[in-house]
């Protein structure tokens, strides 16, 4: 039975980078693993102990890592397997580290895209709860004591506020349950939730750029590590956000498998791959510098992503603030209007 040890991407990068440093220095793999075990802790320590045990029994590094569930992705495992067979483990580990770092950067860019709207919505909910739990109950008691004739909007607010106050435990339990369910869904359906988020109008162009940056960046690393072009295309298609992009990459892989050039394969999906990308790919293929072409494209798309993130923030900030301002303003108006009416009634004529 395979052991399950989950490693975060940062932990994988640090572990493989440290291993590579020792191997490049000429230290035998068993000795290198022993040194890393002494310095490690937590899940990384468990992984290294398991790998060290298997390697000492004559197994390859690939087999040792493959024996662990959810520790390394299939791309990393296949690269290590090929590297051990060709005797280029140190150089391939360097490529794997670049691959994992790009994966981490990709995740960071997604989080950055979602962070601002999430924070604004959280702030809005916080303000709303303060109004419902503390402001309205205190003011409504004054209205009822003085028998003020209040408008329908204020009555609705008071009813909602009373409901929240009287059912605090049930509401908090419900919110906790929803939070747990969202967390579980994100863990198991992360790809689907990301796809849903990036299908929104403002996020659609960002999702396309993220896909192109991830595809070209990962494809370049896989090619440089010696992976066959078809296999590299298959793996690159597994990491993109949009199904449309994944299908386009798959279509390109099929065309390449039938003898077409990569540029011709990409041309079959002009609605996904920009003309400039196809041309640069074609030049790279003809000059024998496809890896460099992919690297250039990845750099370009990453710059586009940074610009898109700035644009989204600039557009979202006023829109969200206006929506929240209107909502909170309406609530406050519903509270203030009866107060002014009350003041008018008690002011001597």
Express each pLDDT in 284-311 by its tens digit: 999 999 999 999 999 999 889 888 888 8
Q: Are residues 239 and 329 in the same domain?
A: yes
Q: What are 28's two structure tokens?
A: 């035998």
Q: Are residues 61 and 126 in the same domain?
A: no
Closest residue by Cα to residue 105 from 225, 221, 258: 221
What is the CATH number for 18?
Answer: 1.20.81.30
Q: Mean of the pLDDT values across residues 165-187? A: 82
d(CA 21, CA 35): 12
Does 195 have pLDDT greater than 70?
no
The residues pairing with 3 across neighbouring beta strands, listed in sequence order, are 68
d(CA 24, CA 222): 21
Does 110 have pLDDT greater than 80?
no
- The domain in which residue 66 lies consists of 3-72
Higher-confidence residue of 274 and 344: namely: 274
What's the pLDDT tens digit per position in 124-165?
888 888 888 888 888 888 777 777 677 788 888 888 888 888
Q: Kindly indicate the confidence band of residue 192, based on its pLDDT and cuts at 50, 70 and 90.
A: low
**Global pTM?**
0.69
Q: Which of 72, 91, 113 is the last residue of a domain?
A: 72
Cα angle 98, 103, 106; round to 5: 125
Q: Are residues 151 and 217 in the same domain?
A: yes
Q: Are residues 147 and 52 in the same domain?
A: no
**Residue 126: per-residue pLDDT:** 86
Task: Kindly report which listed range (137-141, 172-176, 182-186, 196-200) carries the lowest average pLDDT score.
Answer: 196-200
Q: Are residues 138 and 243 in the same domain?
A: yes
Residues 6+ apart with CB under 8 A from 208: 242, 245, 272
**Residue 204: per-residue pLDDT:** 78
Higher-confidence residue of 206 and 16: namely: 16
DSSP single-letter state for residue 349: -
Q: Are residues 20 and 132 in the same domain?
A: no
- As for how many domains the chain has, the answer is 2
Q: What are 143's two structure tokens?
A: 């209205």
């Amino acid at each position: 039975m395979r052991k399950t040890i989950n490693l975060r991407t940062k932990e994988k990068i640090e572990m493989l980078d440290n291993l590579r440093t020792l191997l490049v220095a000429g230290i035998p793999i068993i000795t290198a693993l022993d040194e890393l075990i002494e310095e490690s802790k937590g899940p990384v320590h468990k992984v290294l102990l398991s790998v060290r045990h298997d390697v000492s029994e004559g197994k390859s590094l690939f087999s040792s890592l493959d024996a662990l569930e959810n520790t390394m992705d299939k791309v990393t495992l296949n690269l290590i397997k090929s590297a051990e067979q060709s005797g280029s483990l140190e150089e391939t580990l360097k490529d794997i580290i670049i691959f994992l770092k790009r994966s981490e950067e990709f995740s960071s860019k997604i989080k950055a895209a979602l962070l601002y709207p999430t924070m604004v919505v959280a702030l809005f909910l916080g303000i709303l709860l303060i109004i419902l739990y503390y402001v309205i109950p205190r003011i409504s008691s004054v209205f009822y004591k003085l028998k003020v004739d209040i408008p329908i909007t204020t009555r609705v607010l008071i009813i909602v506020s009373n409901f929240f106050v009287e059912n605090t435990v049930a509401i908090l339990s419900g919110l906790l349950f929803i939070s747990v369910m969202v967390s579980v869904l994100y863990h198991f359906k992360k790809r689907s939730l990301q796809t849903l988020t990036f299908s929104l109008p403002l996020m659609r162009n960002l999702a396309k750029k993220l896909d192109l940056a991830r595809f070209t960046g990962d494809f370049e690393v896989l090619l440089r590590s010696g992976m066959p072009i078809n296999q590299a295309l298959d793996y690159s298609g597994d990491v993109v956000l949009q199904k449309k992009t994944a299908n386009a990459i798959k279509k390109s892989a099929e065309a390449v498998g039938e003898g077409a050039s990569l540029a011709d394969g990409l041309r079959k999906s002009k609605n996904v791959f920009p003309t400039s990308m196809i041309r640069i790919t074609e030049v790279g293929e003809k000059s024998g510098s496809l890896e460099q072409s992919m690297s250039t494209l990845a750099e370009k798309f990453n710059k586009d992503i940074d610009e898109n993130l700035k644009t989204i923030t600039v557009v979202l900030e006023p829109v969200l603030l206006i929506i929240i301002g209107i909502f909170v303003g309406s609530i406050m108006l519903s509270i203030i209007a009866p107060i002014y009416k009350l003041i008018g009634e008690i002011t001597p004529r």
